[in-house]
């Protein structure tokens, strides 16, 4: 099929989706399918603004747009063709970071590009047996933090302050519960806010917790959450719109507990959490993103979009008091927004632009 034909089909799909929303009378966003340039599954997505976004996924794949998603340029990181990229941090149209996983300890790596993906530098390669690095998040283009599942009661987290060197901060993090860890489901098990606030969502143990810092990772505290936690279950994803107000999403990967998808909100910086009304998705919430934290988006300051892979996608205008399901939108792992414009990424290289 020619590029013009593909564009026409995508345009018709977008119009059809919008029409279906209008006749339903619901305040739904506009959904526009886009061509990612790859058929490999995409797992995480990060946006710089309404024009620039990066996504990543299986078989060492990344893809980047510089024109709001009209075109995406996909590529593969040399030497990482057999790995899965579970997280991406977009800095600009030229600069981005990737976090990989694999079958061996040394497959957990951090790569950085400064030339729009033409070349990549490996900044970190794990040497610690049993470590499993799930997600990372950044305060600035050079200051970031990485979370790992626990190893022998310790979280082997990493911290960078210069955009190059990743230091072990396991001694600073709280002791882990037996089997406690995070979920590398969309690159959103860690969230940062402001200059020094960060939160790590955990599960897979007797309690789903939030590990929180207010000083850039120097000291941490652990807080219990009401989300279900067990092997394969817990808190998968976290986001904060400011230093006090945030949302947590999770559930269970066990098909027998497909009805356990849940979300919770905090209004005190993650110390306490309250379960929201049930989101209209199943399984586990893989990723979530606040729609707008900008000054021009005050009307959507409490709006959050959640995605649960095959369990569907939904959004809430009021942090979980009311929910709207996005019809026929499933198979998406990751979600990101920058001031009312966002993207969903998922299976078979699919990308969906979401506009409020």
Q: How many beta carbons lie within 10 A of that of residue 109, not counting itself?
A: 22
What pLDDT does residue 97 have?
Answer: 98
286-311 mean pLDDT: 85
Indicate if the pLDDT at residue 171 is higher than 60: yes
What pLDDT does residue 293 have?
Answer: 57
Contact 304, 323 (CB under 8 A): no
Indicate if the pLDDT at residue 162 is higher than 50: yes
**2-61 confidence digits (pLDDT tens):** 444 444 444 434 434 443 444 345 457 999 999 999 999 999 999 999 999 999 999 999
**56-106 confidence digits (pLDDT tens):** 999 999 999 999 999 999 999 999 999 999 999 999 999 999 999 999 999
Indicate if the pLDDT at residue 211 is higher than 70: yes
What's the rounded Cα separation, in Å, for the pair 169 and 159? 7
Helix ranges (H only) for the chain are 3-24
The fraction of the chain above a pLDDT of 70, given in percent, is 91
What pLDDT does residue 76 have?
Answer: 98
What pLDDT does residue 292 have?
Answer: 82
**229-269 confidence digits (pLDDT tens):** 999 999 999 999 999 999 999 999 999 999 999 999 999 99
Query: CA angle, corner 257, sides to 251 and 259, nearest 5?
Result: 70
What pLDDT does residue 295 have?
Answer: 53
Q: Where is pLDDT greater, at 344 or 294? A: 344
What pLDDT does residue 12 have?
Answer: 36
Contact 192, 245 (CB under 8 A): no
pTM of the predicted protein model: 0.91
**115-156 confidence digits (pLDDT tens):** 999 999 999 999 999 999 999 999 999 999 999 999 999 999
What pLDDT does residue 231 have?
Answer: 97
288-306 mean pLDDT: 81
CB contact set of 173 (below 8 Å; sequence gap of 6+): 154, 155, 157, 211, 220
184-192 mean pLDDT: 97
Contact 44, 62 (CB under 8 A): no
Q: Which two tokens mark 240?
A: 């904060």
Domains of the chain: 32-355 (2.130.10.10)
What pLDDT does residue 298 have?
Answer: 64
Q: Which two tokens mark 54?
A: 């990066």
Using pLDDT thresholds of 50, 70 and 90, give the confidence band for residue 300. confident
The fraction of the chain above a pLDDT of 90, given in percent, is 89
């Amino acid at each position: 099929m020619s590029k013009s034909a593909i564009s026409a089909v995508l345009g018709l799909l977008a119009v059809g989706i919008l029409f279906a929303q209008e006749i339903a009378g619901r305040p739904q966003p506009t959904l526009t399918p886009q061509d990612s340039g790859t058929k490999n599954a995409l797992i995480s997505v990060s946006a710089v603004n309404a024009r620039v976004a990066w996504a990543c996924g299986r078989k060492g794949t990344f893809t980047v747009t510089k024109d709001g998603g009209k075109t995406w340029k996909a590529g593969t990181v040399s030497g990482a063709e057999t790995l899965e990229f579970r997280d991406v941090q977009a800095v600009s149209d030229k600069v981005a970071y990737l976090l990989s996983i694999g079958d061996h300890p040394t497959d957990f790596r951090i790569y950085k590009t400064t030339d729009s993906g033409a070349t990549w530098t490996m900044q970190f390669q794990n040497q610690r047996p049993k470590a499993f690095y799930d997600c990372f998040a950044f305060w600035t283009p050079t200051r970031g933090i990485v979370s790992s599942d626990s190893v022998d009661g310790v979280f082997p987290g990493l911290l960078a302050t210069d955009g190059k060197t990743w230091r072990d901060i396991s001694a600073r993090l709280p002791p882990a519960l037996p089997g406690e860890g995070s979920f590398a489901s969309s690159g959103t098990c860690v969230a940062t806010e402001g200059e020094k606030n960060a939160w790590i969502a955990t599960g897979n143990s007797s309690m789903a917790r939030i590990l929180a810092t207010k000083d850039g990772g120097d000291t941490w505290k652990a807080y219990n959450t009401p989300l279900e936690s067990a092997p394969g279950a817990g808190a998968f994803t976290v986001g904060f719109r400011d230093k006090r107000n945030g949302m947590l999403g999770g559930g269970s990967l066990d098909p027998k507990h497909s009805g356990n998808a849940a979300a919770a909100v905090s209004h005190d910086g993650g110390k306490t959490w309250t379960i929201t009304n049930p989101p209209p998705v199943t399984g586990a919430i893989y990723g979530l993103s606040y729609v707008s934290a900008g000054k021009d988006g005050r009307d959507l300051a409490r709006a959050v979009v959640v995605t649960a892979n095959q369990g569907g996608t939904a959004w809430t205008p009021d942090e979980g008091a009311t929910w709207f399901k996005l019809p026929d939108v499933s198979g998406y792992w990751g979600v990101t927004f920058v001031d009312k414009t966002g993207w969903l990424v998922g299976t078979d290289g699919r990308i969906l632009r979401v506009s409020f």
